[in-house]
Structure 1
Amino acid sequence: MLNFQLLPFPELRTPRLLLRRIVAADAPALFALRTDAQVLTYLDRDPETALSEIEAFIGRLDEALTTNSGINWAVTRVGEEAQLVGTCGLWRLIPEHHRAEIGYMLLPSAWGAGLMAEAVEAVCRYGFEQLHLHSIEANVNPHNAASIRLLERLGFVREAYFRENYYCRGQFLDSAIYSLLASGLPASGPR
């Protein structure tokens, strides 16, 4: 069984991004991200309604770090490190199975530039090389074609399709499960 140690917090760098710890000063940008209608289209959860909910969420992220149960990064552009444009993280860490789930969000103003592919690859590399995970899972709304393309470009493979397994906003929704094995991570750069 793995023994995770998530602190001190690891910053991750790519050619265009700095992935850093989410801090209290990020609350307004995180609120904008987690309440944006376009971002929430395929995330199948209700948006926060107050900044205080985001502040409590940041507290839960900090708690996950101290309990070694999850790690989330603020996605920022190099040279603009104070401005959060997205998040990417590993959660549902399962040490006995060497597995975790990845999740990510990006402001629409940053879509289409390949930034999330850089972030996801960096987080996966951290998961495999530093946490010694064997596999990383992504649970995706099957209608989210952009997210599925991103995952497949990075080598994720669809493992399962669950019909109407998730209830949100008065309806049952499907889930597609993708995974990447440590041996499947590209040598360098997205595929």
Structure 2
Amino acid sequence: MNSFPVIETDRLLLREITDEDASSILEYLSDDEVMKYYGLEPFTSINDALDEISWYKSIRSKRTGIRWGITLKEHDVVIGSCGFHNIVAQHFRAEIGFELSKEQWGKGIAAEAVEAIIRQGFQQMNFQRIEALIEPRNLASQKLVERLGFVREGLLRSYEYTCGKFDDLYMYSVLKQECQAPEQF
């Protein structure tokens, strides 16, 4: 497998997540508010974080996904993650996912990171379509993807069973040709 693609933005370095990042991942994924729409219970141990990192490694090795750790350039501490999962290479599409430490909310960091990986997805990974599945109550994520050009296509009723309940999810997507303007991506 080729080396992990590091992505640099104005403020951020998006890099591979390693076992050494487990304590910082545990810190933000143990927060009830961060985990509210994540589809898992808040983490309670370092093993939960190591299991998550193991999942990141497995989706990359199976070529069904890739997850970047979000770090501020001046601090090499993972404050969130973003990436692609459910990659369907034959159809040139993937789902996007992201989360960020609560202390970093409202600073434009998630949007900066997500915009960078969308560019990576269209330019380097040859996706035609990038999807986002978002719970109806997750207004912040809906606003973020809409600002980046995603279109809400519809409601997937009882689409996932997580944390003991069925969740409806909005299906959003953005297509490669919708992001061709150089000033957007």
In which range does the TM-score fall when normalised by the shorter chain?
Answer: over 0.9
Residues 1:141 and 1:52: Cα distance change in structure 2 (over 3 Å): same
Structure-to-structure mapping, 1:26-37, within 5 angstroms:
26-37=21-32
- Distance, in Å, in 2 between the alignment partners of 1:67 and 1:170 is 28
How much has 1:9 moved relative to structure 2?
Answer: 0.4
- Distance, in Å, in 2 between the alignment partners of 1:64 and 1:151 is 23
Residues 1:23 and 1:178: Cα distance change in structure 2 (over 3 Å): same
How much has 1:189 moved relative to structure 2?
Answer: 5.0
Structure-to-structure mapping, 1:19-168, within 5 angstroms:
19-80=14-75, 82-168=76-162
- Give the letter for the 1:183 counterpart: Q
Say whether the 8 Å CA contact 1:16–1:78 is kept in structure 2: yes
- RMSD over equivalenced CA pairs, Å: 1.6
Residue segments in structure 2 that go unaligned for 5+ positions in a row = none
- Distance, in Å, in 2 between the alignment partners of 1:43 and 1:22 is 18
Residues 1:19 and 1:124: Cα distance change in structure 2 (over 3 Å): same
Q: Of the two structures, which has the highest relative contact order with CA contacts closer than 8 Å and spacing of 6 or more?
A: 1
Give CA-to-partner distance per residue, 1:85-141, whole Å, 9 cap, x none.
110011111001100000000011100011111100100100110110000000101
- Distance, in Å, in 2 between the alignment partners of 1:168 and 1:65 is 23
- Give the letter for the 1:78 counterpart: K
- Distance, in Å, in 2 between the alignment partners of 1:15 and 1:183 is 25
How much has 1:19 moved relative to structure 2?
Answer: 0.3
Residues 1:171 and 1:62: Cα distance change in structure 2 (over 3 Å): closer
How much has 1:56 moved relative to structure 2?
Answer: 2.6
Three-state SS of the structure 1 residue aligned to 2:68 is strand
Instruction: Report sequence identity in percent.
Output: 37
Hey, what does 1:9 align to over in structure 2?
4
Residue segments in structure 1 that go unaligned for 5+ positions in a row = 1-5
How much has 1:60 moved relative to structure 2?
Answer: 2.6
Count of paired positions: 184
After TM superposition, the score normalised by the length of structure 1 is 0.90
- Distance, in Å, in 2 between the alignment partners of 1:189 and 1:16 is 18
- Distance, in Å, in 2 between the alignment partners of 1:148 and 1:187 is 23
Runs of 4+ in 1 over 6 A off after TM superposition: none
After TM superposition, the score normalised by the length of structure 2 is 0.93
- Give the letter for the 1:175 counterpart: L
Please say which of residues 9-18 and 157-166 is displaced more in the overlay: 157-166
Residues 1:162 and 1:67: Cα distance change in structure 2 (over 3 Å): closer
Say whether the 8 Å CA contact 1:7–1:65 is kept in structure 2: no
- Give the letter for the 1:14 counterpart: T
